[in-house]
């Protein structure tokens, strides 16, 4: 027996609705949070000022001495100066993090 014509049309519409629902789930649980993180990271890197204590993506701790366009010069605990790109800075170092450990 052949399926009724109405059943085929409904099945196609259900598939489209299901794909739309899957896309919305991906957007709200994966794409949107990633966009928010990128926006916050960009805002953080633009707001860097002299004297801020930071941690690089490699785990180096230092204090910002000078901020240029895309370059930051930091001083580590031993008095060494390093020239880094802003993209190499992971986060601001907070004293509370040390107290938690």
**Domain residue spans in the chain?**
1-47, 49-100
Say what the pTM is.
0.63
Report pLDDT digits (tens) over 45-98.
888 899 999 999 999 999 999 999 899 999 999 999 999 999 999 898 885 555
- Written as six digits, the tokens of 48 are 């860097």
In what helix (H) or strand (E) does residue 64 lie, and over which residues does it extend? strand 61-67
The second-level CATH assignment, the architecture, of 49-100 is: Roll (2.30)
- Written as six digits, the tokens of 73 are 């010069």
As separate numbers, helices (DSSP H) first and strands (DSSP E) second, the chain gives 3, 5
CA dist., res. 92 & res. 77, Å (int):
16
Judging by beta carbons within 10 Å of its beta carbon (0-12, 13-18, 19+), is residue 63 exposed, middle or buried? middle
């Amino acid at each position: 027996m052949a399926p009724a014509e109405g059943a085929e049309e409904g099945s196609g519409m259900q598939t489209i609705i299901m794909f739309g629902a899957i896309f919305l789930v991906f957007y709200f649980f994966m794409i949107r949070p990633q966009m928010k993180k990128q926006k916050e990271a960009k805002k953080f890197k633009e707001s860097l000022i002299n004297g801020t204590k930071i941690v690089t993506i490699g785990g180096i701790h230092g204090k910002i001495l000078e901020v240029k366009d895309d370059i930051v010069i930091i001083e580590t605990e031993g008095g060494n100066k390093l020239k880094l790109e802003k993209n190499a800075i992971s986060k601001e170092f907070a004293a509370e993090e040390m107290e938690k450990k």
